[in-house]
């Protein structure tokens, strides 16, 4: 089942513009039967992926304001003494507007996000199309252009993909090898070098590679302290920091405009794009199995289930006649200044503005474990890797907390901020950009 096709829309100031890709088609994709040996990847040396419109640590609006202030002062100095006084009066507000910050953001950016929030509320007020999978409906409410695809390869495997007409994304679910005990954080984590090598496979160039880790704590935070599960499992969990549930997806995002030759060599159009993306997905699964992990390329139904799990939808909202036949008329999601609501769950998303120094060893897995250990319904960590000009990697990270209410979400946010401070990680809550933050943490392929 596919959602209805819509025109591409922008969701917030953080969403980047992409070129129009090939339209959908019914042809099945084919998996490549021969695989070249994986080339050894160079050590990853990622850099922080800055927000759009930034030059180094400054925003473009700040630079323009400083230049205007300097120009006003220069003109005032030429027309002194009265002109200099007027120039100072005009320049001071321009400089203050560039220096003052609200919740870690310059004032011009803060006002622009408020305007973008109002525009999104008007633009996304329409109900989802009838027949949309209830688990996938929250994502469609965030971006009405999203749709899913299903096809079979030469081996008759059911392969699913997701896109909006300009990109295609395939999902691979990753699991550690079966062991008698649940592995702790740092065991079976995906190497960054392996993900770096997926950005270019043969003649195929991906737009980005995203890792999404969905975590639910144990014991459940809503249990009373005297509950048997809390008394039995609590001390063990405090030592090992092992969650009750941890699901990892790798989303491979293909923009056909980045590798038109590779798409054309595999049949062109949607068929060629599917074949190219499936080639990379199979390559990822093969490499993961080579390091002792289990990997599965998801079908369309599995993709809808992954989106539903990551969105923390209420199971009651995905069952029943109105949910199953897609006839539900009311919207299930709503964006406010600091939260995004899906059914009866509240979400708040943070952007990682400062990373600690990357290095070998278990430091990075411990960081992910600390950022996803908040006592709340679920925590989601998203890491997106893309390649800039040359061989420099750009890394973008987000953390999303999900709670049953404002009190639970507030306590989880305090826990997250303390953990980030301990690891010297910079966090910026995406006030007035919660919907773009949710899209960045869903397994869709990265920041949108």
Q: Which tens digits make up the pLDDT trace of 151-183? A: 888 888 999 999 998 999 999 999 876 655 555
Residues 385 and 356 in one domain: yes
- Number of folded domains that form the chain: 2
Residue 332 lies in a domain: yes
- Do residues 170 and 80 both lie within one domain? no
Residue 243 exposure: Cα atoms within 13 Å on the Cβ side = 26
Residue 384: φ, ψ to 5°: -115, 130
28 in any annotated domain: no
CA 120 to chain centre: 18
Same domain (yes/no): 284, 353: yes
Nearest to 249 by CA among 291, 204, 202, 304: 304
Identify whether residues 251 and 370 lie together within a single domain. Answer: yes
Last residue of a domain, one of 129, 151, 166: 129
Domain that holds residue 278: 132-177+189-440
Residue 158 sits in the same domain as residue 169: yes
Specify if 278 maps to a domain.
yes
In a domain? residue 314: yes
The answer to whether residues 59 and 109 touch, using CB atoms and an 8 Å cutoff, is yes
At residue 56 the predicted structure's pLDDT band, cuts being 50, 70 and 90, is very low
d(CA 447, CA 440): 4
**CA atoms of 16 and 138, how far apart (whole Å):** 21
Helices and strands in the chain, H and E counts: 13, 19
Kindly state the average pLDDT of the residues 171-200.
74
pLDDT band for position 363 (cuts 50, 70, 90): confident
* Measured CA angle at 423 (ends 418, 428), to 5 deg: 60
pLDDT, position 14: 39
Rounded Cα gap, residues 105 and 103, in angstroms: 6
Q: Decide if pLDDT at 359 tops 60.
A: no
**Of residues 86 and 258, more confidently modeled:** 258
Which residue do the tokens 């321009």 mark? 94
- Supply the Cα-derived Rg of the chain in whole angstroms: 23
> Which strand (E) or helix (H) includes residue 301?
helix 300-311
Average pLDDT of 87-108? 74
Contact 412, 401 (CB under 8 A): yes
In a domain? residue 243:
yes
Q: Are residues 122 and 165 in the same domain?
A: no
- Per-residue pLDDT at 210: 96
- Residue 39 domain-assigned? no
Residues 119 and 194 in one domain: no
- Same-domain check for residues 173 and 248: yes
Greater model confidence, 57 or 365: 365
Nearest in space to 10 (alpha carbons), one of 66, 57, 52, 63: 52
Say whether both 74 and 147 belong to one domain: no
Using the predicted structure, report yes or no on whether residue 379 has a pLDDT greater than 60.
yes
Instruction: Give the range among 99-108, 333-342, 435-444 with minimum mean pLDDT.
Output: 99-108
As a whole number, the mean pLDDT across the chain is: 79
Nearby residues of 420 by Cβ (< 8 Å), 6 or more positions away = 370, 371, 426, 427
- What's the whole-number mean pLDDT along residues 261-273? 92
Q: How many CB atoms lie within 10 A of CB 343?
A: 16
The predicted structure's pLDDT at residue 319: 64
Domain end: 91, 114, 129, which one?
A: 129
Confidence category of residue 13, pLDDT binned at 50, 70, 90:
very low
Same domain for 158 and 108, yes or no, is no
Residue 352 in domain: yes
Question: So what's the pLDDT on residue 325?
Answer: 53
Whether 222 and 290 share a structural domain: yes
| Inside any domain, residue 32 | no
Residue 218 scores a pLDDT above 90:
no
Q: Same structural domain for residues 114 and 159?
A: no
Is the pLDDT at 331 greater than 70, yes or no?
A: yes
- In this prediction the pTM is 0.77
């Amino acid at each position: 089942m596919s959602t209805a096709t819509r025109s591409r829309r922008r969701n917030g100031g953080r969403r980047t513009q992409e070129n129009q890709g090939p339209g959908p088609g019914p042809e099945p994709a084919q998996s490549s039967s021969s695989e070249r040996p994986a080339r050894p990847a160079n050590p990853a040396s990622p850099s922080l992926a800055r927000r759009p419109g930034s030059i180094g640590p400054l925003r473009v609006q700040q630079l323009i304001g400083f230049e205007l202030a300097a120009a006003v002062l220069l003109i005032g100095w030429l027309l002194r003494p009265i002109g200099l006084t007027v120039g100072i009066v005009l320049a001071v507000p321009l400089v203050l507007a560039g220096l003052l910050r609200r919740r870690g953001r310059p004032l011009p950016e803060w006002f622009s996000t408020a305007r973008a929030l109002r525009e999104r509320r008007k633009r996304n007020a329409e109900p989802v199309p009838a027949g949309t999978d209830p688990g996938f409906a929250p994502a469609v409410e965030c971006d009405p252009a999203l749709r899913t695809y299903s096809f079979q390869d030469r081996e008759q495997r059911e392969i699913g993909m997701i896109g909006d007409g300009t990109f295609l994304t395939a999902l691979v679910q990753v699991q550690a090898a079966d062991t008698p005990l649940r592995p702790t954080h740092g065991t079976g984590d995906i190497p960054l070098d392996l993900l770096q090598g997926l950005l270019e496979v043969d003649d195929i160039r991906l737009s980005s590679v995203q890792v999404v880790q969905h975590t639910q704590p144990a014991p459940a935070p809503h249990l009373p302290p005297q509950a048997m599960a809390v008394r039995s499992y609590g001390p063990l969990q405090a030592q090992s920091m092992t969650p009750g549930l941890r699901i990892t997806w790798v989303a491979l995002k293909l923009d056909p405009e980045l590798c038109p030759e590779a798409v054309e060599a595999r049949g062109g159009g949607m068929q060629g794009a599917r074949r190219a993306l499936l080639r990379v997905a199979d390559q990822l699964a093969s490499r993961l199995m080579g390091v002792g992990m289990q990997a599965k390329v998801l079908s369309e139904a599995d993709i809808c289930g992954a989106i539903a799990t990551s969105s923390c939808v209420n199971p009651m909202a995905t069952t029943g006649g109105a949910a199953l036949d897609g006839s539900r008329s009311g919207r299930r999601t709503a964006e406010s200044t600091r939260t995004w609501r899906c059914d009866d769950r509240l979400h708040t998303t943070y952007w990682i503005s400062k990373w600690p120094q990357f290095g070998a060893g278990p430091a990075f897995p411990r960081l992910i474990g600390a950022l996803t250990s908040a006592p709340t319904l679920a925590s989601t960590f998203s890491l997106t890797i893309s390649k800039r000009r040359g061989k420099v990697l750009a890394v973008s990270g987000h953390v999303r907390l999900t709670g049953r209410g404002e009190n639970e979400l507030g306590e989880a946010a305090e826990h997250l901020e303390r953990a980030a401070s301990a690891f010297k990680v910079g966090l910026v809550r995406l006030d007035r950009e919660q919907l773009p933050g949710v899209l960045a943490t869903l397994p869709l392929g990265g920041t949108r």
